[in-house]
């Protein structure tokens, strides 16, 4: 179960080397994304996450907003 985190928490974890994952479609990701974020669209996340992400580092996922 993912823990909810706020903006300050994201910045803190970024400094500690967390992996940032945007789950929006590629076009939206290419226009704007958080610094250092990678793109794992939601429909691909189950298939690709274990291959792409480092299990030893925290992972932060985000979308556009709460919708």
Partner 1 sequence: MYDYRVGKQDWMGAGLPTEGTNTERPRLVDVVHRDVPTCSLGERLGDVRDRVVATGWDACVVVGRERVVLGLLRAAELQANPELPVERAMRPGPSTYRPFVSVAEMRRIMTERNLTSSPVTTSDGKLIGLVRQQDVGID
By CB under 8 A, name the binding residues for partner 1.
1-7, 9-10, 13, 18, 22, 24, 29-37, 58-66
How far is C-alpha 9 from the chain's CA centre? 13
Closer Cβ to partner 1, 31 or 43, answer by number? 31
Closer Cβ to partner 1, 4 or 46, answer by number? 4
Closer Cβ to partner 1, 43 or 66, answer by number? 66
For residue 19, count other CB atoms closer than 10 A to its CB: 19
Task: Select from 50, 65, 58, 45 the least CA-distant residue to 11.
Answer: 58
């Amino acid at each position: 179960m993912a823990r909810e985190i706020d903006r300050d928490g994201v910045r803190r974890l970024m400094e500690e080397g967390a992996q940032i994952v945007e789950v929006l479609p590629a076009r939206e990701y290419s226009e704007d994304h958080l610094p250092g974020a990678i793109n794992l669209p939601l429909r691909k996340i189950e298939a690709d996450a274990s291959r792409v992400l480092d299990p030893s580092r925290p992972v932060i996922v985000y979308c556009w907003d709460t919708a």
